[in-house]
Amino acid sequence: MTINIRKRLIGTYLLIILLTVASFEFALIWGIKNYYIGSVADNLKNQVELVSSFYNNFLDSGDIFSNSKEIIDIFSSRSFQLQITDKRARVIVDSLEATNDEVLDYEEIQMALAGQEGEYKGVDRISGERIISYTAPLKHDDIIVGCVRFTSSLEMTYKVINDLVKYILIFGIALIVVVFVVSFFIAQTIVSPVEEITKTADQMAKGNLTVRNKISNKDEIGLLAVCLNNMAEQLQNSEAMKNEFISSISHELRTPLTSIKGWAQTLKGTPMNETEQMQYGLDIIVDESDRLSDMVQDLLDFSRLQSARLKIHPEPTDINALILQTYEQMKQRALKQQVNMTIELPREAKKINADARRVKQILINIIDNALKFTPSGGEIFISGQEQEIDNKKYYVIKISDTGCGIPKEELSLIKNRFYKSKQNTTDKGTGLGLAICDELVKLHGGTMKITSEVNKGTIVYISLPL
């Protein structure tokens, strides 16, 4: 893939410079040729017209033979050939003395003798050189008596043009070579970071999550490198979290099991008539079994949450009765912990559309947290009431405690799976409770809000739509 990008970049640069250089040079060469040849032609044409009008207007005598000598004296030059013929196309004078007395049977001469200017561009019929020539009639009293012809060789001009073209082509080729080299380096600066990122990504894919991309540029490729680094970091984090979870869950599961097994063994050796001891042990076994089954429930819910299979089955439920029932259930534990748990609810039944089992699970989780993080002598207050929020009716359950509270900076994190506050030193729990509660409340179309102040307490608001 990388080779293709490099080739494509260099190819694009080359194509652009090739097209630019080719069209620019083509136009330049065309312009130079037109300019040089054109100026020779203009010069000749002016000379021919000058001689023709001089002859026609200023010479008194009609004797073309004597007049020709005079014209040759005045106008002949080294840079062109000047010929004058009589009206039968016979050369009277030739500044180069090359065609004296010859009859020039040329088309342009015939045109001039017929009264028009004639032009010839091509190869000279005698020398084979490339030439340009202009011919014009010579008149006396409006009667054509002969013609004058100026010819210039274009060989020198073409030599100059060819030299220029050579330089222009060399310059063009040099430019293309320079652009090729530069584009190679530019392509390199793009391709090599991509190659490096590909290498690290490959390593990450093979499971080495400690590798990181070096960030040297702040461009799109640099951004890609940053994204990959972040991804690896997140993967590493969730990997660490998973490991921590597995070790903590094994630990959590072992504690009640040890206690159940311990009490079962003790009770086996206890005489049947020691009812008090028997009762005490059985109570613990029941409590610990409950804790165990709660944990297993959490785990099940968690795996459903992960795969988005967590579902609720809402039906008309008396929410006030449900809260009261949960309160009664938790009351024993509060008493044991010497926490003063109170409740305030409307007297009449209030039907809402909810999954009773799940709502109870939410309440138990929140009250469990309140009990876990509130020391003896503390207070827990539970209340429920109808409220209007943004023109919509909700049933809001409020559970407040006077426990250790949650630091502000952690409030946004505690609903995350496995998140346990640094404040939480007891190490009890998996950090899943609030994540599951939040999901369950959302499934009901409601919201869960938590406010807290360290060392003062925590308030959890659960709003379920009516």
Residue 341's nearest CA partner among 400, 386, 405 is: 400
Choice between 200 and 369, CB closer to Mg ion: 369
Distance CA 432, CA 436 (A): 6
Long-range Cβ contact pairs of 17-21 (< 8 A, separation 24 or more): 17/175, 17/176, 17/179, 18/176, 21/172, 21/175, 21/176
Residues that bind Mg ion (CB under 5 A): 369, 429, 433
Sign of the C-alpha dihedral computed for residues 374, 376, 377 and 379 taken in this order: positive
Q: Are 145 and 87 in contact (CB under 8 A)?
A: yes
Chain center to CA of 117: 69
Distance CA 373, CA 280 (A): 25
Choice between 112 and 434, CB closer to ligand ATP: 434
Q: Candidates 65-73, 140-148, 259-267, 425-433 — which segment interacts with ligand ATP by CB under 6 A? A: 425-433
82-141 positions binding ligand ATP, by CB under 6 A: none
Q: Please report how close the Cβ of residue 240 comes to ligand ATP at its closest, in angstroms.
A: 17
Choice between 110 and 337, CB closer to Mg ion: 337
Residue 397's nearest CA partner among 331, 309, 337, 326 is: 326
- Give yes or no for residue 334 binding ligand ATP (CB under 6 A): no
Q: Please report how close the Cβ of residue 236 comes to ligand ATP at its closest, in angstroms.
A: 22
Q: Candidates 85-93, 283-291, 313-321, 429-437 — which segment interacts with ligand ATP by CB under 6 A? A: 429-437
Choice between 229 and 365, CB closer to Mg ion: 365
Q: Please report how close the Cβ of residue 424 comes to ligand ATP at its closest, in angstroms.
A: 3
- Give yes or no for residue 432 binding ligand ATP (CB under 6 A): yes
Q: Are 410 and 450 in contact (CB under 8 A)?
A: no
Site string for ligand ATP, 372-401 (x = CB under 6 A): -x---------------------------x
Given candidates 52, 183, 326, 430, which one binds ligand ATP under the rule CB under 6 A? 430
- Give yes or no for residue 421 binding ligand ATP (CB under 6 A): yes
Choice between 274 and 453, CB closer to ligand ATP: 453
What per-residue string of b and e applies to 30-49 under the rule 16 or more CB within 10 Å gives b? eeebeebbeebbebbbebbe
Choice between 405 and 433, CB closer to Mg ion: 433
Quick check: helix, strand or coil at residue 452? strand
Choice between 8 and 456, CB closer to ligand ATP: 456
For the chain, the distance separating the N- and C-terminal CA atoms, rounded to the nearest angstrom, is 58
Q: Are 73 and 82 in contact (CB under 8 A)?
A: no
Residues in the site for ligand ATP, rule: CB under 6 A?
298, 365, 369-370, 373, 401, 403-406, 414, 419-421, 423-424, 429-435, 458
